[in-house]
Amino acid sequence: MRYLSTRGHAERKRFCEILLEGLAPDGGLYLPERYPQVDDATLTRWREVYREQGYAALAFEVLSLYIDDIPAADLRALCAKTYTAEVFGTREIVPLRPLEPGLWLEALSNGPTLAFKDMAMQLLGHLFEYELARRGQTLNILGATSGDTGSAAEYAMRGKRGIRVFMLSPHGRMSPFQQAQMFSLQDPNIHNIAIEGVFDDCQDIVKAVSHDLAFKQRHQIGTVNSINWARLLAQVVYYFAGYFQATASNAQKVSFTVPSGNFGNVCAGHVARMMGLPIDQLVVATNENDVLDEFFRTGLYRVRGSADTFETSSPSMDISKASNFERFVFDLLGRDAPRTRALFGDALSRDGRFDLGADPHFPLAASRYGFVSGKSTHADRIATIRDVWSRFGQMIDTHTADGVKVAREHVRSGVPMVVLETALPIKFAQTLVEALGREPGRPAPFIGIENLPKRVQVMPVDAERVKAYIAAHCQA
């Protein structure tokens, strides 16, 4: 399996090369040259694998189609080491639970940091450590987080040999619990940098550093954001697991609703659908920062600036520049790399927008690729949290509430709708108290976490300052 850049760079690379690299040299994102096709017989076999052997065995089956430069026995062992009931709480790892007729929740938030990002990040930590040991190298991971990626990456990488983490987050914009999860870590290989801006500023700094190829090479810079293909690939697995739990046979289609900011989570669903998983619709649920909803309704992709990015009660989706969106547009345009480069490399830089509304490819987003969308506001999520609690006795977090609200608008008769849960309610306790008048429960390891000493460096929006900090600390 070889990987190409969405912007047309001539070089083709193997999995372990792009695992440690992140962005392609031309600023594009990596995708496989082709999506492996899964036929009915394979789906049937995988259904049995998941039922009889569990999630780790299913993960090996999916990942092995994309990873052929790690010996099969080693890859199987890495999956088995990652996806255990001890780490994720259940044998199913991502258990499905019914909410109301036709609508299910897929629990993705039972990992160490109580968010779906653990599903990929725990595997990424083991993959990084494995490959660095094979090469005798070290890696300095640079990432940006709007809330959950940071803690998931840091908990996965803390104490790992040959790895340091430099994580950027928007200063004061995450929930107190999210901040405490990250900033309370005292591990010497973990560095938290709070940027005086919004998430998109953090993401832009990561990209600016990645574009400085000399700096990137000199300091062995890698990424864990969903621009890293390995992370997105790991997320593909739980679409298959959710499908197998929601259906009795491969003749049944399933739709998925995904709370979306950076487009990584739902892009994994796109990959699963391209492989042949019988997905009817992929429903993109946004909050007030509705750049993705606007695109899927109109064809206009309009990036908002910091001043126009709302601070909401589902803060992990307070994103107005969806990094992974380039991967989907590349496929939507028939894998036209020059045009993708013109849109994402030129038009966005120059105009902050592009419009595909009149392009003949745009209707394919819904008709061929199954994408629809919707938007949820603070009032919507409060009402949804209250409704789900009063009717079903289930407490859901704010982002999952956005998903449930939008999912209800797109349920089709006879097609199970699976909403991907994104986090446990305790991560957003303030809004849960507003909605329900009570604190969510919290796992024992996180009791009093907000009162622990914090270790964080506050910086302005300045890529050069961040680079100087990395250079000063990457040998420490």
Query: End-to-end alpha-carbon separation of the chain, Å?
Result: 36
Neighbours of 465 (CB within 10 A): 15
Phi, psi dihedral angles at 53 (to 5 degrees): -110, -20
- pLDDT computed for residue 211 by the predictor: 85
Sheet containing 163-170, strands listed edge to edge, beginning at the edge strand earlier in sequence: 221-222, 139-144, 163-170, 190-195, 457-459
Q: 372, 401 in Cβ contact below 8 A?
A: no
What's the confidence (pLDDT) of residue 475?
A: 65
- 408 in any annotated domain: yes
> Does 65 map to a domain?
no
SS3 content of the chain, % helix, strand, coil (to 5): 45, 15, 35
Locate all alpha helices (DSSP H) within 307-397, ordered by sequence. 325-332, 337-341, 348-351, 364-367, 378-392
**Spatial distance between the Cα atoms of 92 and 110, rounded to a whole number of angstroms:** 11
446 domain residue, yes or no:
no
Classify residue 326: in a domain, yes or no: yes
| pLDDT for res 415 | 98
Pairing status of strand 96-100 against strand 103-106:
antiparallel
- Tell me the pLDDT tens digit for each residue of 229-246: 999 999 999 999 999 999
Active site residues: 117
Answer for the pair 418, 254: CB distance below 8 angstroms, yes or no.
yes
Determine the pLDDT at residue 94.
Answer: 98
Q: State the total domains in the chain.
A: 1
Residue 431 resides in a domain: yes
Residue 343 covered by a domain: yes
In a domain? residue 31: no
CATH of the domain at 245: 3.40.50.1100
Tens digit of pLDDT per residue, the chain (476 long)? 999 999 999 999 999 999 988 789 899 999 999 999 999 999 999 999 999 999 999 999 999 999 999 999 999 999 999 999 999 999 999 999 999 999 999 999 999 999 999 999 999 999 999 999 999 999 999 999 987 888 999 999 998 888 999 999 999 999 899 999 999 999 999 999 999 999 889 989 998 998 898 998 899 998 877 789 999 999 999 999 999 999 999 999 999 999 999 999 999 999 999 999 999 999 999 999 999 999 999 999 999 888 889 999 998 899 888 989 999 999 999 999 999 999 999 999 899 999 999 999 999 999 999 999 999 999 999 999 999 999 999 999 999 999 999 999 999 999 999 999 999 999 999 999 999 999 998 888 889 999 999 999 999 999 999 999 999 998 64
Cα 168 to Cα 409, 427, 428: the distances in Å are 35, 19, 20
Structural domain for 241, as ranges: 96-114+229-436
- In angstroms, the CA 396 to CA 421 distance is 8
Classify residue 460 as exposed, middle or buried by CB count within 10 Å of its CB (0-12, 13-18, 19+): exposed
pLDDT at 148: 82
Residue 174 lies in a domain: no
